[in-house]
Amino acid sequence: MKHFINLKDISSKDLRKIILDAKKRKNIRKKLNTLEVDKGAPLKGKLLIQMFEKSSLRTRLSFYLAIKQLGGGTVTLRSNELHLGQGGESIADTAKILSTYGDGFMMRTDDDKKIENFKEHLSIPIINGLSPSSHPTQVLSDVFTVEEIKKKPISKLKICWIGDSNNVLDSLIAASVKFSFKLSIGCPKKFEPSKNVLEWVRKNKKKIFIFNDPKKAVRGSDVIFSDKVISLNDKVDKRKKTEQFKRFKINKKLIRHAKKDCIFLHCLPRGSEVSNDIFLGKHSRVWQQALNRVHVQKSILLYCFGKLR
């Protein structure tokens, strides 16, 4: 049984295997309808329990389609409708019940410790569907999207992130180490990645490049990533933070500093960090990026269920 909690805890070899499997599966099912099951129905009869403590559109739907296309099924729980931590029901008891009824558990939470707590008491795999410290399913899928569009290993490309040092960036930094790609980050000084994250990069003998000038970060990039300035778990003065990021808006002027054929990716939902013309324009691949989550998460599920080819 394998968990999928943080990219940094999974070997580069396994991450690469997941991407390769996703590529094969995506190609094979080109002519199949949305709910048609992959040949061999590798997860036939399996139940994925999903639990959301925060809003989600894409993660919820893409996991639904992923497990369905593998022959299994899913049920989605809202944490506020469970006993979870209330009325005397411990996480240990909830985890025991989840393991009795289900085969896998995907959760989105505001608390990294809760994932660890569940992991300790579950006897089924757990997948992190976004936490304050990471969004691993999103970023692994984004690596897949970059390679699919650029038709090159990501290690041969220059990747840039313009925006907040949040969960998605933490996973992108982990991916830059695991897949050995060059990552430049553009953000205000006050919002640079945490010491812990930078220390982990150093320990792994890798380097990331941080700029407080967005033009310098973008220069020569093949891919520009961004995300909302205000994340779901952000308890900040929203107006002040948005103002501090004003200079970092991705617009026509800024994108000129990247390579001519650079692509723009964003996990959605979006905010004021990107202009409408860039988000909907010729550089943007955000819809393809969103759809690919289905394909990559199928292979993540197979990895967790010990069925990856």
Contacts of 238 (CB under 8 A, 6+ apart): 230
Q: Which is nearer to ligand CP, 173 or 265 (CB)?
A: 265
Report the partner that residue 57 touches, choosing among ligand CP, ligand NVA, none (CB closer than 5 to 8 A by kind). Answer: ligand CP
Select from 1-9, 30-38, 50-58, 275-283 the region that touches ligand CP (CB under 6 A).
50-58
Name residues contacting ligand NVA, limited to 54-113 (CB under 6 A).
none
Query: Is 191 in contact with 170 (CB distance < 8 Å)?
Result: no
Question: At its nearest, how many Å lie between ligand NVA and the CB of residue 219?
Answer: 25
Question: At its nearest, how many Å lie between ligand CP and the CB of residue 243?
Answer: 24
Q: What single letter denotes the amino acid at residue 23?
A: K
Question: At its nearest, how many Å lie between ligand NVA and the CB of residue 306?
Answer: 28
Binding map of ligand NVA across residues 253-292, x = CB under 6 A, - = no contact? --------------x-------------------------
Query: How many angstroms separate the Cα of 244 from the Cα of each of 161, 248, 273, 287?
Result: 16, 9, 11, 28
d(CA 249, CA 229): 10
CA-angle at 218, arms to 246 and 161, nearest 5°: 70
What's the residue count for the chain? 309
Taking the CA atoms of 23, 25, 27 and 33 in sequence, report the sign of the dihedral they define: negative
Query: Is 84 in contact with 91 (CB distance < 8 Å)?
Result: yes
Number of residues that bind ligand NVA (CB under 6 A): 11
Judged by CB under 6 A, does residue 267 bind ligand CP? yes
Select from 20-28, 52-60, 84-92, 281-289 the region that touches ligand CP (CB under 6 A).
52-60
Interacting residues toward ligand NVA by CB under 6 A = 130, 135, 166-168, 227-228, 231-233, 267
